[in-house]
Amino acid sequence: MERSVNYGGNDLNLEATELRLGLPGSDEHEKQSSPGVRTSNKRASPEVAEESTSLSNSNVSDARNGDQDSAPPAKAQVVGWPPIRSYRRNNFQQKKTEADGAGMYVKVSMDGAPYLRKVDLKVYKSYPELLMALENMFKLTIGEYSEREGYNGSEFAPTYEDKDGDWMLVGDVPWDMFISTCKRLRIMKGSEARGLGCL
C-alpha cells in the first residue's frame, strides 16, 4: 500500500526548487497539445546538463525547438549517445577513412603551373611523405614545417581546402584528420606564401 506523500508543504517544497525553463511567473505546465509545440519536451535545464555531464562539454541542442532560430543548429555531441559501447565507438574512425577503397585522389594546383596534378592521399602515411612527393612532382622545395612559422624560409607553402571550404595550412592537424577533410591541395608561392607564415 502506498502512503500518499504530502508534497505540498513543509518538507520538500518541490515547487520552489523545481528547475524548469520559462520566465518566472509563467504557467507551470507547458502542455504539449500539438506536435508543433515542443517546449514541454525539454530536458532539465542547461545548467543541470552541464553539471551532470561534467565529463564532457555536451549540451543537447534540441533541433526541433520552436523557440530557437529557424535554421536547425548543428547537432551537438551528447555524452553516451547514441548508446554504443566505447569498444564499438573506437571502430568509427577507421571506417571513415577506409570508405573509399579506390584511393583518395585530390587535385593539386600550383601557382603559375600550366595544368593541375592529382595525388592519391592514401598512398602516404604521413606529412613528410606527402611533401616529399609534392616536391618531386613540382620540382621545388617546400621546407620544414613548424607550428610557429608555418613553412617560413621557403618560397612555397602547401595549403589545402577542407570540407568547410576554408584554405588551411598543411601540417596543423593530425594526419588522419587531414586526409579525411582534405578536398584539394594548392601550393602557394611567393609573397602570398610568406604572408601566411607571418600569421
Partner 1 sequence: MYFPSKKKNAVYVSPIKQDIHPIDFSLPTEPMNHKRKNPDPSPDSDEPTTQLSSPFPDEVLERVLSLLNSRKDRNSVSLVCKDWYDAERWSRTHVFIGNCYSVSPEILTRRFPNIRSVTLKGKPRFSDFDLVPPKWGAYVHSWLLVFATKYHFLEELRLKRMTVSDESLKFLALSFPNFKALSLLSCDGFSTDGLASITTHCKNLTELDIQENDIDDKSGKWLSCFPENFMSLEVLNFANLNSDVNFKALERLVSRCKSLKVLKVNENITFKQLHRLLVLAPDLRELGTGSLLQDLTPRQHSELKSAFNNCKNLNILSGFYEVTSIFLPVLYPACTNLTFLNLSYAALRSDELSNLLIHCPLLQRLWVLDSVEDEGLEAVGSNCPLLEELRVFPASDPFEDEILHGVTETGFLAVSYGCKKLHYVLYFCRQMTNAAVATIVQNCPDFTHFRLCIMNPRQPDYQTDEPMDEAFGAVVKTCTKLRRLAVSGLLTDLAFEYIGKYAKNLETLSVAFAGSSDRGMECVLKGCPKLRKLEIRDCPFGNAALLSSFRKYESMRSLWMSGCKVTMDGCRFLAQEMPRLNVEVISECGNDGCQADKLYVYRSVAGPRKDAPPFVLTL
From edge to edge, which strands make up the β-sheet containing 117-120? 117-120, 105-110, 184-189, 156-161, 167-169
Instruction: Tell me how far, at minimum, the Cβ of 162 lies from partner 1, in Å.
Output: 14
Question: Residue 188 gets which letter from DSSP?
Answer: E
Q: Give the phi and the psi of residue 37 in degrees, each rounded to 5.
A: -95, 115
Q: Which residues bind partner 1 (CB under 8 A)?
A: 2, 5, 7, 11-12, 14, 16-19, 29, 31-32, 35, 38, 40-44, 48-49, 51-56, 60, 62-64, 75-89, 91-92, 94-96, 98-99, 101
Instruction: Tell me how far, at minimum, the Cβ of 147 lies from partner 1, in Å.
Output: 25
Task: Output 86 or 191, the one with its CB closest to partner 1.
Answer: 86
Instruction: Tell me how far, at minimum, the Cβ of 14 lies from partner 1, in Å.
Output: 6
Spatial neighbors of 61 by CB under 8 A, at least 6 apart, are: 68, 73, 74, 75, 76
Task: Output 2 or 147, the one with its CB closest to partner 1.
Answer: 2
Instruction: Tell me how far, at minimum, the Cβ of 159 lies from partner 1, in Å.
Output: 24
C-alpha cell belonging to residue 6: 504530502
